[in-house]
Amino acid sequence: YYFKKAGKGDRHSYAQLKPDIGAPGRSVSAIAGSGTGTEGFGGTSGAAPMVAGSAALLLSANPALTPTEVKARLINTANPNLVTNPLTAPGILAPLSRVGGGEVRVDAALATRTAAWDAGDPLSVSLSFGAPRVTGTTTLRKRVVVRNYASVARTYSIAPSFRFASDQAANAVTITAPPSVTVPANGSGIVTVTMSINSA
C-alpha cells in the first residue's frame, strides 16, 4: 500500500480514494473550426482536459497558488450531488469511487475564499484513512489544513456527515472533529479529524 519516496522519509499511500474529481466527459466538446458544433468526446479523454483547463484558469487568475492549493480548490468546490443515472428520478447518489469530490466547477474554485487539505499528505488533498486492518475498536487521526484567503479572520463550522444513511446506520465508523475553527486573515489553521472503527 505504500511507496517510499527516494531520499525522503515520508510515504505515500496508494490505498486512497480515487478519482479525486470528475468532469463532463461526453457531448460537451467543441469541434475545432466549426464555431458552434459539438460532438461526443467520451470518458477520461474528455474529462481530463476539462480538469487540466480548470487548473490552468486558476493559475492564470492567481499564479502564486501552489499545486496543493489548486487541487484543493478544485476538489473542495466540486459538485458532489451526482447521480448514477441522471435520467432516472430522483436518482441514486453516485459512490465517491466514481466521482471523488464531485464534478468540477471552475467558477466556484475561482471564487472560493477557503481551501482545505490533508496536512500529512498535501499532494493527495483528500482525507483518506486508507484501508487499515483492524480488530476491536481502532482510532485513527488526520490533521486538516484550513486556508483562509479572505482579508478578515473567519470562523468555520465543522459538521462531519456520511454520504449514505446506511453507512451511518451501520455504526461501524464514527467521525468526530471540533465544532469550529477560527482562521486568521490570509492564514491557515489546523483541525484534527478522528475516525473510530468498530470492527464488530
**What per-residue confidence (pLDDT) applies to 4?**
43
pLDDT in tens, 96-154: 888 899 999 999 999 999 999 999 988 889 888 888 888 999 999 999 999 999 999 99
**What per-residue confidence (pLDDT) applies to 5?**
46
- DSSP SS3 for 48: helix
**What per-residue confidence (pLDDT) applies to 6?**
47
Whole-model pTM above 0.75? yes
Contacts of 57 (CB under 8 A, 6+ apart): 106, 110
**What per-residue confidence (pLDDT) applies to 1?**
35
SS3 content of the chain, % helix, strand, coil (to 5): 20, 30, 50
Averaged pLDDT of the chain: 87
**Burial class of 109 by CB neighbour count within 10 A (0 to 12, 13 to 18, 19+):** buried
C-alpha cell at 159: 459538521
Q: How far apart are CA 193 and CA 34, in angstroms?
A: 51
pLDDT in tens, 169-200: 999 999 999 999 999 999 999 999 999 999 99
